[in-house]
Amino acid sequence: MRSHALDIRSQGPVKRVSGFKDYEPRDQVHARLQLSRGGPLRRATAGIDVRGNGEFVPYRGGVRREEIDPTSHETPFDAVRETLETQSVARFRSY
């Protein structure tokens, strides 16, 4: 995931988009990289949004995404890894 995210960011920032509203590069998701663990019904999902300005924003959840605060981790990728590990253990214990 890290190497794909870095490759995408190396393409440079996206351009501002205007429509009904103006979207600055930081407001746009250039790419969404997602990993899942577990079975089809109880799946742990987390990933990285690569914003148009090159920022990496970690999140958890598939359909209902929630941003993860990366400040307590060395990198946003560490936040994703920890989230997947924690969610998988919690789901396993719930059976």
* pLDDT tens, per residue, the chain with 95 residues: 999 999 999 999 999 999 899 999 999 999 999 998 877 777 889 999 999 999 999 999 988 899 999 888 899 999 999 999 887 654 443 34
pLDDT at residue 92, rounded to an integer: 43
CA–CA separation, 76 vs 89, rounded Å?
A: 20
CA–CA separation, 71 vs 5, rounded Å?
A: 19
In a domain, 17, yes or no: no
pLDDT at residue 89, rounded to an integer: 53
- Full domain range(s) for residue 51: 2-9+26-93
Secondary element (H or E) of residue 2: helix 2-9
In a domain, 19, yes or no: no
pLDDT at residue 88, rounded to an integer: 60
In a domain, 71, yes or no: yes
Burial class (CB in 10 A: 0-12, 13-18, 19+), 3: exposed
How far does CA 56 lie from the centroid of its chain? 7
Task: Work out how many domains the chain is built from and give that number.
Answer: 1
Contact 58, 69 (CB under 8 A): no
pLDDT at residue 10, rounded to an integer: 95
Contact 32, 38 (CB under 8 A): no
